[in-house]
């Protein structure tokens, strides 16, 4: 059996419960760093154990072999591939892996369950397939925020969020600086994101490009860095400027031949190449040790933004954090990646950003060092600069954040989160049903009602875990005393 960590096991439990409640098209959201492939393989393995046939789809031909080899590493080898000419073609195998491009041109293979990887990438083909298939179809995605996804899938299962994974230590924390602010006033918006040609004109100019290089030299700490550009010309321009200032820099785009790409990757690992300029082709499937992200590509897309920053959030030995040099104002527009959250799938009626839905304040820029502070933080955590107080309310909030601890007040969101964490903890340890309920009462003196009662499972933070432990220790001491007395 594929061994799973408790948060991965909890994701499976949520999926099982969703199917048991009669859902037929659940979509599992698992961010970078969650171990999505491992969870997918575990779903496949458990289905095989029940004698079921599984169809696993990927959104590009190039991902078929990668999936097959990842499954093989996890012990899933009864795999056939559906593709023009492929050495693994074998319709009798209980697991079939296929790209959507191939499936569109074929009759659908028989299966008892289908998994759709990278489910946020939509194809017209899905409409007919989803309407006709009688078996469950399970979507998997790190960023399931595409418009209209809710027309295909009937439930969003949030296995975890980026901020939960950072708090639990599965992803790296990050710091963001906004060293320059591009003028995007003349840039049109097409299909929800900036027009690429306009964007290229706005970003690919000598001043901005020079500023990217200067900022990296000043603040980049010589870290291994991925630099995301608007288009190929912009990426090459950035590379040339980095090189001209003595920084060994690579360039990769979608057309870079495989062997060249691998050579650049190796040089990057060896520290011979410090910066790699690219055009979004490194947003998925790259598992490099990246300690700095340069965002030179403004975007309105929460998905693209999350995918780009996600390249820097993998943990590694000795890695303290990821440095983000945001020259695109994306963080100031969309908030931190950890703020992007949608509790529901988009049904296609009204497109709203995560921020609109939750009405949360945006990060603020430190006027002294351009560090982006969370809202309500007064003194800059990076340089210590304290801006002149602008209003009494803000200053009080600022102070409140500083003296958390003894007199901390809990918001409704804190309480919902806490109860969700207790439930997760209880679930992963098979505790009795009322455990989380009673723990919550111990903490807050009231029962978890209303919104709190329906809190979804989420990974316990270190603070919650230590609170649970402290309660256990207190309880153990108390019963020792009672035994001694008796």
Judged by the rule CB under 5 A, the positions of this chain that interact with Zn ion are 366, 368-369, 371, 380, 382-383, 385
Q: Rounded to whole angstroms, how far apart are CA atoms 61 and 37?
A: 17
Q: Which is nearer to Zn ion, 265 or 366 (CB)?
A: 366
Q: Which is nearer to Zn ion, 185 or 390 (CB)?
A: 390
Query: At its nearest, how many Å lie between Zn ion and the CB of residue 378?
Result: 11
Task: Give the C-alpha separation, 370 to 382, whole Å.
Answer: 9
Q: Please name which of 255, 278, 280 lies closest in space to residue 193, comparing C-alpha atoms.
A: 280
CA of 251: how far to CAs of 254, 255, 269, 275, 305, in Å? 10, 11, 15, 8, 20
**226 vs 380, beta carbon nearer Zn ion:** 380
Instruction: Identify which of residues 151 and 219 has a Cβ nearer to Zn ion in the complex.
Output: 219
The residue assigned the tokens 């790409």 is: 261
Question: Closest CB to Zn ion among 123 and 385?
Answer: 385
CB of 381 vs Zn ion, minimal distance in Å: 8
Q: Where are the beta strands (DSSP E) in 305-367?
A: 322-326, 364-365
The C-alpha atoms of residue 420 and residue 409 are separated, in whole angstroms, by: 18
- To Zn ion, the closest distance from the beta carbon of 370 in angstroms equals 7
CA distance 268 to 290: 9
Q: By three-state DSSP, how is residue 19 classified?
A: helix
Least Å distance, CB 171 to Zn ion, is 24
Task: Map tokens 């289908």 to a residue.
Answer: 114
Q: Which is nearer to Zn ion, 7 or 364 (CB)?
A: 364
What are the backbone dihedrals phi and psi of residue 87, each rounded to the nearest 5 degrees, phi first?
-65, -20
Q: How far apart are CA 459 and CA 168, in angstroms?
A: 7
Nearest to 48 by CA among 14, 24, 76: 76
Residue 88, CA atoms < 13 Å, CB-side half-sphere: 19
Minimum CB–partner distance for residue 377 and Zn ion (Å): 11
Task: Give the list of residues 6+ apart from residue 361 with CB closer than 8 angstroms, or none.
Answer: 375, 376
- Residue nearer to Zn ion on the CB measure, 225 or 370: 370
Cβ proximity to Zn ion, 362 vs 369, nearer residue: 369
* Residue 365 CB, nearest approach to Zn ion (Å): 9
Q: If residue 438 lies in a helix (H) or strand (E), which one and from where to where?
A: helix 435-444
- Do 12 and 52 form a contact (C-beta atoms < 8 A)? no
Residue with Cβ nearer Zn ion (284 or 382): 382
Closest by CA to 260, choosing from 248, 251, 273, is: 251
Q: At what angle do helices 412-428 and 462-485 cross, to 10 degrees?
A: 70
Q: Which residue has 């959250």 as its token pair?
A: 341
Quick one: DSSP state of residue 314? B
Nearest to 88 by CA among 33, 96, 134: 96
- Minimum CB distance to Zn ion, residue 163 (Å): 22
Rounded to a whole number of angstroms, the minimum distance from the CB of residue 336 to Zn ion is 16
Least Å from the CB of residue 362 to Zn ion? 17
We find the least distance from the C-beta atom of residue 331 to Zn ion, in angstroms, to be 15
C-beta of 286 vs 377, nearer to Zn ion: 377
**Choice between 245 and 368, CB closer to Zn ion:** 368
β-pairing, 372-373 vs 364-365, is: antiparallel
- In whole angstroms, the minimum distance from the beta carbon of 296 to Zn ion comes to 22
């Amino acid at each position: 059996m594929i061994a799973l960590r408790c948060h991965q096991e909890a994701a499976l439990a949520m999926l099982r419960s969703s199917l048991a409640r009669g859902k037929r098209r659940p979509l599992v959201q698992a961010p970078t760093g969650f171990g999505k492939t491992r969870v997918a393989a575990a779903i496949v393995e458990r289905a095989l154990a029940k004698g079921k046939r599984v169809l696993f789809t990927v959104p590009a031909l190039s991902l078929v072999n990668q999936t097959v080899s990842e499954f093989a590493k996890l012990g899933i080898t009864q795999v056939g591939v559906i593709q023009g000419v492929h050495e693994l073609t074998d319709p009798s195998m209980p697991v079939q892996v296929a790209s959507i491009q191939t499936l569109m041109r074929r009759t659908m293979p028989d299966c008892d369950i289908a998994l759709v990887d990278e489910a946020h990438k939509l194809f017209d083909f899905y409409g007919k397939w989803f309407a006709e298939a009688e078996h469950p179809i399970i979507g998997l995605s790190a960023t399931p925020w595409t418009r209209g996804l809710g027309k295909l899938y009937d439930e969003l299962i949030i296995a975890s969020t980026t901020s939960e994974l950072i708090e639990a230590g599965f992803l790296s924390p990050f710091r963001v600086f906004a060293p320059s602010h591009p003028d995007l006033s003349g840039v049109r918006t097409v299909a929800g994101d900036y027009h690429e040609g306009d964007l290229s004109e706005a970003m690919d100019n000598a001043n901005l490009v020079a500023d990217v290089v200067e900022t990296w030299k000043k603040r980049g700490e010589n870290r291994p860095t991925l630099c995301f550009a608007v288009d190929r010309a912009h990426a090459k321009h950035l590379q040339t400027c980095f090189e001209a200032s003595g920084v060994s820099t690579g360039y990769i785009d979608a057309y870079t031949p495989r062997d060249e790409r691998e050579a650049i990757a190796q040089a990057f690992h060896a520290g011979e190449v410090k910066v790699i300029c690219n055009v979004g082709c490194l947003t998925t499937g790259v598992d490099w040790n990246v300690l700095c992200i340069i965002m030179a590509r403004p975007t309105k897309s929460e998905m693209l933004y999350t995918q780009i920053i996600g390249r820097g959030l993998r943990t590694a030995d000795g890695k303290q954090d990821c440095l983000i040099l945001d020259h695109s104002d994306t963080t100031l527009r969309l908030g931190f990646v950890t703020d992007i959250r949608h509790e529901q799938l988009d049904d296609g009626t009204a497109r709203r950003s995560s921020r609109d839905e939750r009405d949360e304040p945006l990060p603020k820029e430190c006027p002294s060092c351009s560090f982006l502070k969370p809202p309500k933080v007064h003194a800059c955590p990076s340089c210590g600069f304290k801006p002149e107080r602008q209003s009494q309310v803000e200053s009080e909030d600022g102070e409140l954040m500083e003296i958390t601890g003894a007199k901390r007040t809990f918001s409704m969101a804190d309480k919902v989160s806490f109860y969700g964490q207790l439930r997760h903890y209880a679930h992963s340890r098979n505790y009795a049903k009322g455990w989380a309920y009673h723990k919550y009462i111990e903490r807050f003196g009231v029962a978890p009602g209303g919104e709190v009662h329906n809190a979804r499972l989420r990974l316990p933070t270190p603070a919650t875990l230590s609170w649970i432990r402290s309660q256990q220790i207190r309880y153990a001491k108390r019963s020792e005393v009672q035994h001694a007395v008796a």
